[in-house]
Structure 1
């Protein structure tokens, strides 16, 4: 029964992660901790939950990227540039993770997610006010509503921000998407669909790097990972397919809701 629960958790994580570009770690990490505390599965430490999550997220990122590739929604040039910063950041985050206690881990994780949800409240206004801003690297994309959107960024700023994203990804086992997607939408004016698709590409690359650190440390429960991976793989396909059919505003709304819900739950867990 415990492995059936993990397959279900994996499917849910893959679907939501691929739908809004979070990678799935925001579902997997708290789920492993909750199920362990409830004695539904053997208990694991926060570090073990993070390491296991990052290994599983590799397959979520790969499955999602392959799906989004078919509709040319992945910005590879931007993704590779952001990875230059997020890769080293992920290694540092995985190392710092070793010093966090369970209560501090849950509290910081929750505050982090809620701060990102509030940041996204300003998404639409920010995009309209800065549409004409010029960037050294710029691209255009036609949304499924027929709107042409121009977005771009400064390379140095993009690398610096992605380093911070990678750090939180390695620290919390979330793949970095809960910060990368809002950053791409707010700072670089990425269309939500492109931000999500490109985020999953970056998550795939950064999870490969940060998971190596956790594997070397011994922070992976391989039986749990093997149960989670099939659910994540097929869930990512469902999430990507659903994302393509949604309007941009709906994608952002779902992202906000998920971040607030998970953030509140983790804060309560951290202070209880």
Structure 2
């Protein structure tokens, strides 16, 4: 690595906490691990770092974001336990495959894949409003004849409105004043499986591959899929996505580590930043008015996708210029060789 490259790398490491904080806040608001911001940020700050190392290292931050923000959503009862389990199971199987496949793609291809995917998923979450009517779960009134009621702090999961495919979040009704809190209110409850869960599991498989391949945590696959297909309230989508992607992100991180694709010093600093940012972001998401989270997702994905594609185009131009320079040098050398 040249002196200039080393200097840029050090600058990237020193700025990792700031990048991580921004990525954690953003990721917890849109249901992605934060890698979608970290990857293009490091690419732009330090193009000399191989894409496979950036992808592997960013998973350390993805794990931190999912763990911190997921705990906040889980504590507020905004996680569909059954969907999270199905997604995580499928993703764990395919995350190592995605990590291995990074060696078969060049940096330009990886950046283009990431950029176009981000732009492609941008309109999916706002489109949910065209198909489902999903008021924020915490604003729903408690059913008069139900033992369970959707309230903040709930952890259990129940199904509702099967014709809309919506998932409501529920917990045991608050205990009477002066009584001990119900133990069941702190436990996740699995709902019965339904036909649509096959698609949820398939989404997990695709998300795991994307997590291992691009270091994005898979949330950009899971979040729009859950929002559009199931009609979950966006807060439940965020919580379920973040919790579900923790196991495959850990698997992908370990696989990248075995392949030598993790800069642990930078990864640790990124994780510290994302932990702080994701806590703040997830708290803000819980207080966001209806529609705001969907709009943030759409705008954020388009912005990051275009930025990543710009970085890919810049790298392609640099590679083309380098190839032209090598060809010119070879031609000049051949011209100087005396004939027989």
Q: TM-score, normalised by structure 1?
A: 0.88
State the alpha-carbon separation in 2 of the partners of residues 121 and 200 from structure 1.
19
Q: What are the equivalent positions in structure 2 for 1:1-272 lying under 5 Å apart?
A: 2=11, 3-37=13-47, 43-128=48-133, 133=163, 139-141=167-169, 154-272=196-314
Aligned-residue offset at 1:69: 2.0
How many Å apart are 1:82 and its aligned residue?
Answer: 1.3
Instruction: Look up the match of 2:336.
Output: none
Q: Which residue of 1 aligns with 2:144?
A: none
In structure 2, distance between residues paired with 1:158 and 1:72: 20
Deviation at 1:247, TM superposition (A): 2.2
Given that 1:91 and 1:170 are in contact with CA atoms closer than 8 Å, whether structure 2 keeps it comes out as yes
Q: Hey, what's the Cα distance between the residues in 2 that align with 1:153 and 1:252? A: 26
Deviation at 1:154, TM superposition (A): 2.2
Supply the RMSD in Å over aligned alpha carbons: 1.9
Deviation of 1:134 (Å): 6.6
The residue aligned with 1:145 is none
* Correspondence for 1:146: none
The DSSP-based 3-state class of the residue aligned with 1:174 is: coil
Conserved? CA contact 1:26–1:262, under 8 Å: yes
Secondary structure, aligned partner of 2:127: helix
Q: What does residue 147 of structure 1 align with? A: none
Q: How far 1:132 sits from its partner (Å)?
A: 5.4
Judged with a 3 Å threshold, the aligned counterparts in structure 2 of structure 1 residues 263 and 153 are, in CA distance, closer, same or farther, namely: farther
* Aligned CA distance change for structure 1 residues 204 and 132 (closer, same or farther; 3 Å): closer
Residue 23 of structure 1 aligns to a residue whose secondary structure is: coil
State the 1:153 CA deviation. Answer: 5.8
TM value normalised by structure 2:
0.71
1:148 corresponding residue in structure 2: none
Tell me, in whole angstroms, the C-alpha distance in 2 between the residues paired with 1:214 and 1:192: 31
Larger Rg: 2
Distance 2:95 2:104 in 1: 15
**In 1, are the aligned partners of 2:79 and 2:239 still within 8 Å (CA)?**
yes
More moved, 67-76 vs 234-243: 67-76
Which stretches in structure 2 are left out of the alignment for 5+ residues? 1-9, 135-160, 171-193, 315-340
CA contact (8 A) 1:193 1:248 kept: no
Task: Give me the whole-angstrom Cα distance separating, in 2, the residues matched to 1:174 and 1:182.
Answer: 14
